[in-house]
Chain A
Amino acid sequence: MKADLKTTVGDLKGSARIQRMPVNDFFVKNNAPIILFILIIVSSIVSENFLTWRNITTVLLQQVPYFLISMGVMLTIMTGGIDLSVAAVAGCSNVVVAILITKWGQDNVGMLFVCIALTILLGCAIGALNGFFIGKLRMAPFIVTLAMMSVAQGIAYLVSGGAQFRMKNEILSARALTWFAAYRDPLIGMPVLVYVTLAIILVLWFVMRYTPFGRLILAVGSNESAVRLAGINVTKYKFIAYVISGALAAAAGIIVTGRSALGSPLNAVQSDFALSTVAACVIGGVALEGGKGTVPFTVVGVLILALITNVMNLAGLASYPQYVVKGAVIIFAIFLSRLGREDG
């Protein structure tokens, strides 16, 4: 009856809100796009460079790894878990793909695809381990993926010997990768990587919205034991979510390599991928307890964080205070996204 009390009170709040002002409900539901909209206005006031095509396309290009990783992280959070190993997996892939290309890609572009495929496979493998421990052995996602983060960091150091790995320009595959990573379509100057990312996002959006897989990912996060007792293989869906997360993190790492021509184990320990992508999900309304969230809103979450960084850069803020501001803004944004939630 205690739970009853809570739900009734929640219902009351809900109905009272709808009655009093439907507008309020609209704001609560759509706070992420509204925040984004406000940010765009603020940014364009702060800097006249903000609304230039060059800046917009560059921001999007910079955000490609964040978009990819946050899609994977989103899936794991939707199932009621989390993937904190993504930054390390991306960093590890960043190093691994650079080394593979240098070793095999001297004068054969075809080998580039092999290198990329192998690296993504590595990401899948790490994701599969996460998925096995979390889905099959029912271990806590938080600590499993945190430990896996350390494993991936270790791999990055081991394969590189701790040193940065610069891909030489004479290597054909390296040249191809960096060219592709920077290539903009001649028509409107949009980087091709943005198109690729958009395609991946659209596929995921479609899958989440229209297929049994998407429905069940959310269902698992909503009430795992009910779904299990209904006779559904919960383990499978969790496993797949972590594998996809690993794969997308690896893809992000490869893109980092392509954009910098550099494989650095420091990427595995220093990048803000984990914080930023989890924060993007939460800001976009993906509930950390699972069972809630949509692809478009997660994309909005990524954009919000991207704009915050971008506007700080455009305003000429030094990089150290940026960390503080970004962290504070993330906390504030999550606070906003919790407003009006019945359990909030």
Chain B
Amino acid sequence: MAEMQYHVELVNICKSFGGVRACRNVNFRVKAGEIHALVGENGAGKSTLMKILSGAYAKDSGDIYIGGQKVNINSPKDGLSLGISVIYQEFALVGSLTVAENIFIDQLSEKGRLINWRRLRERASSALESLGFGSIPVDKAVSELSVAHRQVVEICKALARDASVLILDEPTSVLASGEAGQLFRLLRSLRDKGVTIIYISHRLEEIFKLCDRITVMKDGCHVGTYKTAELDEKELVSLMIGRTLESYFPARKPKIGETVMKLENISSGKTVKNVSFEVRRGEVLGITGLVGAGRTEAMRAVFGADPLDGGRVILNGRQVRFKTPERAVKHGIGMLPEDRKAHGVLLEMPIRTNITLTRLKSFTGPLKIINRKKETRYIEDLVKRLSIKAASIEDNVSSLSGGNQQKVAIAKLLASDCRILILDEPTRGVDVGAKIEIYNIINDLVANGFAVILISSEMAEIIGMCDRAVVMKDGSVAGILDKNELTEENLIKYSMGVN
């Protein structure tokens, strides 16, 4: 039954958590030396399947074959010794240690001897060189590296442990398009060397660019495995969500009004230099560029979350300056932070607390008592409007899926009654269905006269959603593109500085 051409075979895998069947008789076969995409909405079971393969979870039933041999994987250690390595979104690196130390963290010395630092450095640089990244300094602390380079170190670390199967879970969600290209080249060269790569991503465009075959999962079941050439993006989306989709980006008739906020020569720290642009009523203005181009930093400075060192913010014709986010919100500017878990929501607090955080005063009567009925009505209204799926508004946000957590963060933002919204990567780590819902919410907002500033690394999102886009590079504005100029070529050109 196990043919040799498959390097990894998962046969009839079942896994239940309590009453939830996360994997139902899933068959998943990956050939040696291919890049195989595993796609599906959040909750489709792909992460569970990969955790079973890597040993983080124990399967209920089913068989695993590696190289045609039936194997038992009961712990992450078993997985590692079979050459299976997972590269997580948040890297398992120690920031304060050097590149060399991180790569060889579990084999710093040979056979219980003291550490030979010179030898360690040599081993690290030759390992990096073999990946074509000899330029990464092995003595630098990992925390000082760019995110893209950290990822390379992580992959290098996996290969140093003789990994023959690499599982990458949303690797590009932390990268910008230009940096993703580098990663793809590396992955292709590893594939050509015979490494088997399983690639999980919500970004369909890159799956088509990179992967040889695609396996789609839905509701814990294996929908099918396809050659990439056999599918197009639309078909893939309909396989993933189980229905056909008119358009990935819902249409909108823009009703653009007057300028509501104008930035003149904004500077902040070393990362933001002389940024100027304006945003208008009813407009979705994109801000894009490579990671580290200063997109988030510029908006944080305007919003008062970081110090604004220079420049002017003109709001509805009047110059303003926000020392704190509180002041910005008072003036009607709200922000959805990039890192949902760290800054977006209060994970261990109920949905209720999260959503009405900023408007509790509107529910209080004399004695400052919160009128819970009034509050509940308000929350249920928003929950319905944003179709947040939760058993109860008293549930902690941590119990929700990523997409619903993000919608709670958006609900919290909307409850603060701001009319200019800065959305920083609002669809990061969110499945296709929720993504489209978030796009619909954005469309709805601008139709009602809100101004939306959409920070995104995803080119498709910028092109599909924005009326105009600011491309940043090295802390400055490299170009401002109108709707008709919004093409992938232009975005790459401006963000990379190619002319």
CA distance A222 to B325 in the complex (A): 18
A10: B residues at CB distance < 8 A: 398
CA distance A316 to B390 in the complex (A): 56
Contact check: which of B344, B348, B369 meets A292 at CB < 8 Å? B348
Q: Let me know if A2 and B345 touch, CB within 8 A.
A: no
CA distance A139 to B356 in the complex (A): 29
CA distance A3 to B91 in the complex (A): 10
Contact check: which of B18, B169, B342, B360 meets A212 at CB < 8 Å? B360
CA distance A3 to B326 in the complex (A): 29
Contact check: which of B17, B56, B325, B361 meets A230 at CB < 8 Å? B325
The answer, yes or no, to whether B387 is at the interface (CB within 8 Å) is no
A219: B residues at CB distance < 8 A: 346, 349, 353, 357
Closest to A291 in B: B348
The answer, yes or no, to whether B329 is at the interface (CB within 8 Å) is yes
Contact check: which of B17, B47, B305 meets A4 at CB < 8 Å? B47
CA distance A104 to B335 in the complex (A): 56
Contact check: which of A210, A213, A225, A231 meets B342 at CB < 8 Å? A225
The answer, yes or no, to whether A19 is at the interface (CB within 8 Å) is yes
The answer, yes or no, to whether A24 is at the interface (CB within 8 Å) is no
Contact check: which of A12, A210, A216, A233 meets B357 at CB < 8 Å? A216
Q: Let me know if A215 and B370 touch, CB within 8 A.
A: yes
A4: B residues at CB distance < 8 A: 47
Closest to A289 in B: B348
Cβ < 8 Å to A, chain B residues 358-415: 358, 360-361, 364, 368-370, 398-399, 412-413
The answer, yes or no, to whether A322 is at the interface (CB within 8 Å) is no
Q: Let me know if B370 and A2 touch, CB within 8 A.
A: no
Q: Let me know if A210 and B330 touch, CB within 8 A.
A: no
Distance in Å: Cβ of A25 to nearest Cβ of chain B: 14
Q: Let me know if A211 and B346 touch, CB within 8 A.
A: no
Distance in Å: Cβ of B9 to nearest Cβ of chain A: 24
B399: A residues at CB distance < 8 A: 11
CA distance A292 to B349 in the complex (A): 9
The answer, yes or no, to whether B426 is at the interface (CB within 8 Å) is no
Q: Chain B interface: which size bin? A: 35 or more
Contact check: which of A5, A16, A210 meets B18 at CB < 8 Å? A16
The answer, yes or no, to whether B343 is at the interface (CB within 8 Å) is yes
The answer, yes or no, to whether A218 is at the interface (CB within 8 Å) is yes
Closest to A292 in B: B348
Contact check: which of B90, B329, B346, B369 meets A291 at CB < 8 Å? B346
Q: Let me know if A233 and B326 touch, CB within 8 A.
A: yes
A210: B residues at CB distance < 8 A: 369-370
The answer, yes or no, to whether A331 is at the interface (CB within 8 Å) is no
Q: Let me know if A227 and B368 touch, CB within 8 A.
A: no
CA distance A168 to B347 in the complex (A): 57
The answer, yes or no, to whether A228 is at the interface (CB within 8 Å) is yes
Q: Let me know if B328 and A215 touch, CB within 8 A.
A: no
A227: B residues at CB distance < 8 A: 346, 357
The answer, yes or no, to whether B51 is at the interface (CB within 8 Å) is yes
Distance in Å: Cβ of B60 to nearest Cβ of chain A: 13
The answer, yes or no, to whether A232 is at the interface (CB within 8 Å) is yes
Q: Let me know if B349 and A3 touch, CB within 8 A.
A: no
CA distance A4 to B429 in the complex (A): 11
Contact check: which of A7, A229, A232 meets B343 at CB < 8 Å? A229
CA distance A12 to B22 in the complex (A): 12
A230: B residues at CB distance < 8 A: 325, 329, 357-358, 412-413, 416
Cβ < 8 Å to B, chain A residues 204-252: 210-213, 215-216, 218-219, 222-223, 225-233
Distance in Å: Cβ of A78 to nearest Cβ of chain B: 12
Distance in Å: Cβ of B162 to nearest Cβ of chain A: 22
Q: Let me know if B90 and A1 touch, CB within 8 A.
A: yes
A291: B residues at CB distance < 8 A: 346, 348-349
Q: Let me know if B368 and A231 touch, CB within 8 A.
A: no
| Mask of B445-487 contacts with A, CB within 8 angstroms, 1/0 | 0000000000000000000000000000000000000000000
B117: A residues at CB distance < 8 A: none
The answer, yes or no, to whether B337 is at the interface (CB within 8 Å) is yes
Distance in Å: Cβ of A193 to nearest Cβ of chain B: 26
CA distance A255 to B51 in the complex (A): 59
Distance in Å: Cβ of A252 to nearest Cβ of chain B: 26
B294: A residues at CB distance < 8 A: none
B364: A residues at CB distance < 8 A: 211-212
Known: A1-B88, A12-B17, A230-B325. A222 touches B360 (CB 8 A): no
The answer, yes or no, to whether A15 is at the interface (CB within 8 Å) is yes
Known: A1-B90, A216-B357, A230-B358. A223 touches B345 (CB 8 A): yes
Known: A4-B47, A212-B360. A15 touches B368 (CB 8 A): no
Known: A212-B360, A230-B357, A231-B358. A1 touches B348 (CB 8 A): no
The answer, yes or no, to whether B78 is at the interface (CB within 8 Å) is no
Known: A1-B90, A223-B346. A229 touches B330 (CB 8 A): no
Closest to A15 in B: B18
Closest to B368 in A: A211
Distance in Å: Cβ of A10 to nearest Cβ of chain B: 8
Q: Let me know if A2 and B92 touch, CB within 8 A.
A: yes
Distance in Å: Cβ of A9 to nearest Cβ of chain B: 8
Distance in Å: Cβ of B228 to nearest Cβ of chain A: 24
Closest to B409 in A: A226
CA distance A16 to B89 in the complex (A): 27
Q: Let me know if B305 and A228 touch, CB within 8 A.
A: yes
CA distance A115 to B90 in the complex (A): 57
The answer, yes or no, to whether B334 is at the interface (CB within 8 Å) is yes
The answer, yes or no, to whether B96 is at the interface (CB within 8 Å) is no
The answer, yes or no, to whether B324 is at the interface (CB within 8 Å) is yes
B89: A residues at CB distance < 8 A: 1-2
Cβ < 8 Å to B, chain A residues 261-291: 291
Q: Let me know if B18 and A232 touch, CB within 8 A.
A: no
CA distance A310 to B349 in the complex (A): 37
| Mask of A6-43 contacts with B, CB within 8 angstroms, 1/0 | 01101110011001000000000000000000000000
Distance in Å: Cβ of B465 to nearest Cβ of chain A: 23
CA distance A5 to B369 in the complex (A): 39
Closest to A206 in B: B369
CA distance A56 to B335 in the complex (A): 54
CA distance A19 to B16 in the complex (A): 13
Q: Which residues of B contact A (CB under 8 A)?
A: 17-19, 47, 51, 56, 88-90, 92, 169-170, 303, 305, 324-326, 328-330, 334-335, 337, 341-349, 353, 357-358, 360-361, 364, 368-370, 398-399, 412-413, 416
Q: 10 tightest CB-CB pairs across the interface, nearest first?
A: A231-B329, A212-B360, A1-B88, A1-B89, A222-B346, A15-B18, A223-B346, A2-B90, A1-B169, A210-B369
16 A-B contacts (beta carbon < 8 Å) = A1-B170, A2-B89, A2-B90, A2-B92, A8-B47, A11-B399, A212-B360, A222-B346, A225-B342, A225-B343, A226-B346, A228-B325, A230-B357, A230-B412, A231-B325, A232-B357
15 further A-B pairs in the complex, CB-CB below 8 A; given A4-B47, A212-B364, A231-B325:
A5-B56, A10-B398, A11-B17, A11-B399, A15-B18, A215-B370, A222-B348, A225-B343, A228-B325, A229-B337, A230-B329, A230-B413, A231-B358, A291-B349, A292-B348
